[in-house]
Amino acid sequence: MTLYTNAYLWINDAWTAQPAALLVDNGIITDILYHNLPTNVASINLYGAYCYPGFTDTHTHSFEGGLYSLGVDLSVVRTIPELLALLGANKHNSADTLFAWQLDEAQLAEKRFPTIAELDSVINLRPLVLRRIDGHSCMLNTAARALVPGLTTKDEILRGTENDHAVHYFHKQIQPDTILQAYQAAAKIALQGGFTGIHTMIGDADNSIGHYSLIRDNLSKFPISYTIYPQSFNLKAALDAGASRIGGCILADGSIGSMTAALNSPYENSDSRGVLYQSDQFWADFITQAAKHKFQVAVHCIGDRAIKQINDVYKSLDSTPLLRHQLIHCELTDNTLIEEIYASGAVPVMQPNFDLLWGGDEGFYARKLGGQRSRIMNRFASLMNHSIRVCGGSDWYITALNAPMSIIAAMNHHNPAERLTHAQAIAIYTKNAAWLSHEENSRGAIKPGCQADFTIVNQPLDNFGTQPIIQKVICKGVIRYEQV
């Protein structure tokens, strides 16, 4: 038994009036005490800090995030020569494929991708996979291109199915030890970001569930709670693996950046309305079949046309409120679509960081969609105030895995009408997240009987004056991260 003393506790959407103590036994909260503290128990003083229920990020790509954290992060480079120098510094580190990620050509002075010849000039023997920030396009050096079977395009930048094919080819070559290492690296980053749990997708978003069974069999070895999804259309493989949910970023459409998100009206200065990757019939068949097997379904849908396509299927099924099917991203929603999401009982799993990074009247979304449409994106408050249960995620590795950053982003949406209150922003990472995984009785709240998961910060997250500091992250009663 452990007694954590002297912290303000976030209970029922508010702080306790005075500091209290948490009695934890065997990973479970057994009591909340205000006085007459037991003296025969090991005790840890939290010195008046603020204790939230442990935060859960409900949408990550942790394998890629963990794996790439062992590779090269390109988010810091601002010119092509800088990019090449950073890659060149890694050319001899290993015989394995080098993964570089977070390339955003719009951030580079040259406003373009590097060429293959430039990549080869700094790293020619070791295979190199370089991914764009949104994951929807990539580049390979010549050594890597030679390895991918069936890659016939002459295009230097791989997009759409060629991007997926190439990336999954390289991911499939990775050995179990390295896979587990990637998930351990991801868990460590999650803890540093204030999370006690993360949902993560495993599989190629096509026919394979990848290393799902490997992670399923090793869940107890990780310091945080992983909630895993076979990210695949292969219902049989998911059933055989004993999964209760399926999907993630299985794609109804693409991304705003690649102009492949499916819209009702065209992109700004373009005739294109983006792409629906599958027919209505395809989704009706897949989702109906999945629901028949009691799977919770999650589908990536960004544009209004794609969200409606998926939500229409959810709406046609009586089981949606029960199984809690998910609309991943759910970015562009007018008021009519919000009504329809309410009617279907689906759960939007959304990313506050997207608005932080790309929202705003002068932002990336406004340039792609026009100012008017950019204001009906990522409508956190409109959805929640419509009694729709929204959950929060980072889509990490796409954006940072950092709870205070995401929570504060949700409270500071560029459109004041879409800002969440402090309590709502906390809810999407705590009780709503627990509800999403059907664990509302055992996680996501500070109350006796719940898993002892806590995120402890030096100040409430609605104090925007100073940067919050994560002091401790406690998972199942054990301190897994401590501020150094």
- Could you tell me the smallest distance in angstroms from the CB atom of residue 379 to Zn ion? 18
The answer to the question of residue 261 lying near Zn ion (CB under 5 A) is: no
Kindly tell me which of 24 and 409 has the beta carbon lying closer to Zn ion.
Answer: 409
Is 249 near Zn ion (CB under 5 A)?
A: yes
- Measured CA to CA, the distance from residue 209 to residue 212 in angstroms comes to 6
Place of tokens 């949700």: 410
Rounded least distance, CB 463 to Zn ion, Å? 30
The CB-of-30 to Zn ion minimum distance in angstroms stands at 37
Residue 258: CB minimum distance to Zn ion, A:
12
C-alpha–C-alpha distance, residues 67 and 182, integer Å: 5
CB neighbours of residue 389 within 10 Å: 18
Scanning 144-152, 158-166, 225-233, 293-301 for contacts with Zn ion by CB under 5 A, the matching segment is 293-301
Query: Nearer to Zn ion by C-beta: 51 or 249?
Result: 249
Smallest gap, in angstroms, from Cβ of residue 270 to Zn ion? 22
Stretch that binds Zn ion, among 136-144, 209-217, 249-257, 459-467 (CB under 5 A): 249-257
Which is closer to Zn ion, CB of 300 or CB of 431?
A: 300
Inter-residue long-range contacts of 440-443, CB under 8 Å, 24+ positions, other chains counted: 443/53, 443/54, 443/56, 443/197, 443/225
Residue 60 CB, shortest distance to Zn ion, in Å, is 8
Q: Considering the complex, state which of residue 160 and residue 460 has its C-beta at the smaller distance from Zn ion.
A: 160
Contacting Zn ion within 179-238 (CB under 5 A): none
What's the rounded Cα separation, in Å, for the pair 19 and 97? 51
For the bound state, the minimum distance from the C-beta of residue 328 to Zn ion, rounded and expressed in Å, comes to: 5
How is the beta sheet containing 195-202 ordered, strand by strand?
55-60, 195-202, 225-230
Residue with Cβ nearer Zn ion (302 or 475): 302
- Cβ 306 vs Cβ 330: under 8 Å: no
φ, ψ dihedrals at 342, nearest 5°:
-60, -45
Packing angle of the helix pair 62-69, 160-172 (nearest 10 deg): 70
Cβ closest to Zn ion, residue 19 vs residue 135 = 135
Q: Please confirm whether the linkage preceding 397 is cis (ω < 30° from 0).
A: yes
Instruction: Judge residue 96's burial from the number of C-beta atoms within 10 Å of its C-beta, 0-12 exposed, 13-18 middle, 19 or more buried.
Output: middle
Within 8 A by CB and 6+ apart from 175, the residues are: none
Residue type present at position 414? H
Site residues (CB under 5 A) for Zn ion, limited to 88-147: none
Which C-beta is closer to Zn ion: that of 349 or that of 446? 349
**CB-nearer residue toward Zn ion: 167 or 249:** 249
- 395 touches Zn ion by CB under 5 A: yes
Q: Rounded to the nearest whole angstrom, what is the least distance from the CB of residue 201 to Zn ion in the complex?
A: 7
- CA-based nearest residue to 102, from 48, 149, 64: 64
By beta-carbon proximity to Zn ion, the closer residue of 338 and 349 is 349
* Stretch of 11-19, 246-254, 280-288, 319-327 contacting Zn ion, by CB under 5 A: 246-254
Q: Is the Cβ–Cβ distance between 309 and 274 less than 8 Å?
A: no
Binding window for Zn ion (CB under 5 A); candidates: 23-31, 73-81, 136-144, 393-401: 393-401
Q: CB of 413: closest distance to Zn ion in angstroms?
A: 20
Quickly tell me which residue has 């079977």 as its tokens.
Answer: 149
Of 89-97, 215-223, 242-250, 356-364: span binding Zn ion (CB under 5 A) = 242-250
Site for Zn ion in 323-382 (CB under 5 A): none
The stretch near Zn ion (CB under 5 A) out of 11-19, 157-165, 176-184, 244-252 is 244-252
DSSP line for 163-223: HHHHHHHHHHT--HHHHHHHHHHHHHHHHHTTEEEEEEEES-SSS--TTHHHHHTTGGGSS
Closest approach of Zn ion to the CB of residue 256, in Å: 12
Residue 459 CA: distances (Å) to CA of 160, 441, 462, 469: 44, 27, 8, 8
**Count of residues in contact with Zn ion, rule CB under 5 A:** 3
- 3-state DSSP call for residue 459? coil
Q: C-beta of 23: minimal distance to Zn ion in Å?
A: 38
Contacts of 315 (CB under 8 A, 6+ apart): 340, 343, 344, 346
What residues have CB less than 8 Å from 76, skipping those under 6 apart?
86
CB of 74 to Zn ion, least distance (A): 19
Nearer residue to Zn ion within complex by CB, 300 or 480: 300
Q: Which stretch binds Zn ion (CB under 5 A): 11-19, 93-101, 292-300, 402-410?
A: 292-300
351 or 374: CB nearest Zn ion: 351
**Site track for Zn ion across 294-323, x = CB under 5 A:** ------x-----------------------
Looking at beta carbons only, is 77 or 341 nearer to Zn ion? 341
Q: Which residues bind Zn ion (CB under 5 A)?
A: 249, 300, 395
